[in-house]
A and B are shown apart, each in its own frame.
Chain A
Amino acid sequence: MRITLRVWRQLGPTDPGRLETRDVPDVSPDMSFLEMLDVVNEGLIAAGETPIAFDHDCREGICGACSMMINGVPHGPNRATTTCQLHMRTFRDGDTIVVEPWRAKAFPVVRDLVVDRSALDRIISAGGFIGVSTGSAADANATPIPKTVADRAMDSAQCIGCGACVAACPNASAMLFTAAKVVHLGLLPQGQPERYRRVLSMVRQMDLEEFGGCTNFGECQDACPKEINVAVIGRMNADFLKASLSNRDEAA
């Protein structure tokens, strides 16, 4: 099949960048989207042009590196699929495909389709952990956890930190990312001692990184390759309210 690619090229954070049009004549429907870009890049190299930069690593949908807005949708049109697992058979012969980087102030463009997502790491660093130093743990079965609770914690813990939620949100909000971690740890008995302290500092960091606020559009949930539900945001809101009222010293 043949497609027309309109792809964002930008040398660095200060370059204004532009969409470049490329004709890609030799696409196999069995290629993944990234393999299609590999082929385009091989062609560029042969022609002496610099290849398109894009983040990718595991290519099996779990590392969270790939990050592309494909025809205006993060990771492309398929549900619960990362860009690396999106295959060209999803598109039709003759399609024009627009590819852009995630866009958010907190995700400055490094080059072409590569953005800097270290803001997400800093949110985790602010409190997305259980403060247990190595060696001090009790026996793993000392605290039983109901299966349903463990399963719900796992639902949130599946986040791959790709940033699709931010990319999809009209407000460029990182609430789904932040809430997924707050809820994962907040559901487990091990996470209780730091529960309110955690939500306060993670939300503060999230705001400091200049992500937008949540206005309940729901786009993040739809874009999330791991189908994390916006219910986690509601739970985080409640925890935040409770934390602000009950842990005033920490909140200050």
Chain B
Amino acid sequence: MNLRSKVPAGPLEKKWDQHRFDLKLVNPANKRKYTVIVVGSGLAGASAAATLGELGYNVKCFCFQDSPRRAHSIAAQGGINAAKNYQNDGDSIFRLFYDTVKGGDFRAREANVYRLAQVSVDIIDQCVAQGVPFAREYGGLLANRSFGGAQVSRTFYARGQTGQQLLLGAYSALERQIARGTVQMFPRTEMLDVVLVDGRARGIVTRDLVTGAVQSTAADAVILATGGYGNIFYLSTNARGCNVTATWRAYRRGAAFANPCFTQIHPTCIPVSGDYQSKLTLMSESLRNDGRVWVPKARGDKRGPAELAEADRDYFLERKYPSFGNLAPRDIASRSAKEVCDEGRGVGETGLGVYLDFSDAISRLGEETVRDRYGNLFEMYQRITGDDPYRVPMRIYPAVHYTMGGLWVDYNLMSTIPGLHVLGEANFSDHGANRLGASALMQGLADGYFIIPYTIGDYLASTKPAKVDETHPAFREVESEVKGRVTRLLSIQGHRSVDSFHRELGRLMWDHCGMSRTAAGLKRALARIPELRAEFWRDVRVLGGEEEFNQSLEKAGRVADFMEFAELMCLDALHRAESCGGHFREEYQTPDGEAKRNDDEFAYVAAWEYTGDGNAPRLHKEPLDFEAVHLTQRSYK
């Protein structure tokens, strides 16, 4: 396997311009002769499909939701970063680049991140032109807010619904192309495999979720924009449908999977309330600006918050990080909460929660001011928990939120399978080991609007793919494999539901490959996963038929892939004997409990190659060279 990153030569700030000039172009008249498949209709997929349609390619876009507008990008709350420097506070492309590389704990590719920072400014222009109603000042100009990990205000936002507004912008551009006939949309259609012909990605096999029909679609290039795999933990802030199937199937066909163990945990989510829980809801991080995080000092103290005197409370973030206090970065805040809960000092029925208390803020600022700042969030909290945060402290707990790992891509966003491109959260590229707030939206749109439209042209122009259609035997073969899997899932007729397996897998992963990891725990998980997988294939109960609308069957296929992927994730976490960003190995920490990176041995991207069922995956390393930034240890003391 060849991990050629294809990063162009030359100075960092000239690389993308030079590369764009060097990329081959497809003649406008020839574009419509090329068919491009886009899987996924989130920020990356919708923006790519729309833009390629505008350029004149023949685009086929697939999503499993009933409408492309429902992709999970819709749920992003906070905002989108861009190096506009509208606030005149010292921002620049270089600073955004630097913050992102540092925030990612130096595990991202410099050239990609620099390009991301460069095109960030174009994204905002594009979105405003599309009618995205970003927040504005009275003077009519765009407003900005600051976000974690940055000392400048560069985040653009639309109330607490920035992801929704950006996605609806991309979706409207997509719908415009659908009306013009350049994009053909396939909603409620799930991709179940990639088809390779002569070593190149030439199409996909899908299942129509309404009729159950398994079908092939051929193309000249395939783009996966299928999001992250946070749902491997069963409980996460992801939508219920988010899954690893598309990227996992691509991996099994030869695409390298990079850094699968890099997952991000968000510190401020509403805690689990019972076994039936299906989803964790994120509360904006901004709450930590005025809320104080605490737990009882004594273990097992079951008194209510009002009965605990000041002296009985441990404001553990303020105690451990006096200068950042409650505003410590996501990973640190999350881990500290886990620690105190592990000590038996957690609050709430499950003991897995810490208080986020606004009583000081209310007495200092008055209830009105607090309502002004956080009114919507308080309402949402009350809607879900039934508690009034103006009277009772909120309870929060960390939850899985985003996955930095993904399919390995080169500078052109192409995976190790020629013709298979990967965008957005589905690829591994820009966030290293930890993603900064408001950067996911930026990356999804950068990939879709401003990068893939150039690089895919180069792929098509330089390879000039031969004509292949769905009658090619390769399609027949993959189709029958897919059908075989579907039939097998339905034929087991065991005793346990898909959800019960998924919940068990999630619990296992959360315990051993979650917020903090140890070699021993990971080994335990690695021993248990194959057993659980075997149980699944022996005892799962999927009811209903093959050729009908069957939601259990959809879930079963996704969970089956999570069962395989889990092993790779643990393997990657075990091999990375260092702590960095979202990956915290308890064996590798500084004396005062901070993450300890090992740049000498692990400054590389771990890209895993599939070598067949039952065989260990092969590790390939793409070394990371840092020319523009200096590697430093993060400190928030």
Contact = CB atoms under 8 A, between A and B. Distances in A.
Are chains A and B touching directly in their complex (CB below 8 angstroms)? yes
Interface of A: 11-12, 28-32, 34-36, 38-39, 42, 45-46, 48-51, 53, 55-65, 78, 81, 84-85, 87, 89, 110-111, 114, 116-118, 120-121, 124-126, 128-141, 143-147, 150-151, 153-154, 157-158, 160-161, 184-185, 188, 190-191
Contacts of A81: 383
Nearest to A226: B161
The 5 closest A-B pairs by CB, nearest first: A144-B140, A129-B172, A137-B129, A137-B125, A59-B279
A150 B157 CA distance: 12
B65 A65 contact: yes
Contacts of A45: 497, 541, 543, 552
B179 A134 contact: no
25 contacts: A31-B274, A32-B279, A45-B552, A48-B543, A59-B281, A60-B237, A64-B69, A65-B65, A85-B384, A87-B384, A89-B386, A121-B69, A124-B172, A125-B176, A129-B175, A132-B173, A134-B50, A134-B54, A134-B449, A135-B450, A138-B125, A141-B86, A147-B140, A150-B135, A158-B159
Contacts of B137: 147
B19 to A, nearest CB: 16
Most B C-beta atoms less than 10 A away, residue of A63, A132, A139, A151: A63
A190 B240 contact: no
Given A50-B544, A114-B549, A128-B172, A141 B70 contact: no
B118 to A, nearest CB: 14
Contacts of A84: 279
Interface stretch (B106-114, B163-171, B430-438, B565-573): B163-171
B12 interface: no
Given A85-B384, A151-B133, 15 more contacts: A36-B276, A58-B75, A59-B239, A60-B282, A61-B380, A110-B549, A118-B187, A121-B67, A124-B171, A125-B179, A126-B179, A135-B449, A143-B128, A147-B136, A150-B136
B155 interface: no
B175 A125 contact: yes
Most buried by A among B127, B161, B273, B551: B551
Contacts of A55: 66
Contacts of A126: 179
A58 B142 CA distance: 29
Contacts of A132: 126, 129-130, 173
B84 interface: yes
Most buried by A among B66, B67, B176: B66
B241 interface: yes
B172 A121 contact: no
Contacts of A111: 548-549
Contacts of A161: 67, 69-70
Interface residues of B, number: 80
A153 B70 contact: no
Interface string B493-517: 0000101100000000000000000
Contacts of B72: 57-58, 63
B453 A134 contact: yes
A120 B497 contact: no
A165 B500 CA distance: 36
A53 B551 CA distance: 7
Contacts of B146: none
B385 interface: yes
Kindly name the residue among B65, B74, B124, B131 whose own CB sees the greatest number of chain A CB atoms within 10 A: B131
Contact of B278 (A28, A35, A46, A188): A35
B59 to A, nearest CB: 13
B239 to A, nearest CB: 4
A85 B383 contact: yes
Instruction: Point out which of B67, B139, B499, B541 has the most chain A C-beta atoms below 10 A from its C-beta.
Output: B67
Given A42-B497, A60-B282, A145-B136, A116 B131 contact: no
Contacts of A129: 130-131, 172-173, 175-176
Contact of A51 (B122, B161, B551): B551
B134 interface: yes
B175 A139 contact: no
Nearest to B552: A51
A151 B157 CA distance: 12
B176 A30 contact: no
B346 interface: no
A105 B521 CA distance: 55
Contacts of B178: 125
A35 B278 CA distance: 7
Given A114-B549, A124-B175, A140-B124, A59 B129 contact: no
Contact of A184 (B86, B131, B279): B131
Contact of B70 (A57, A116, A138, A140): A57
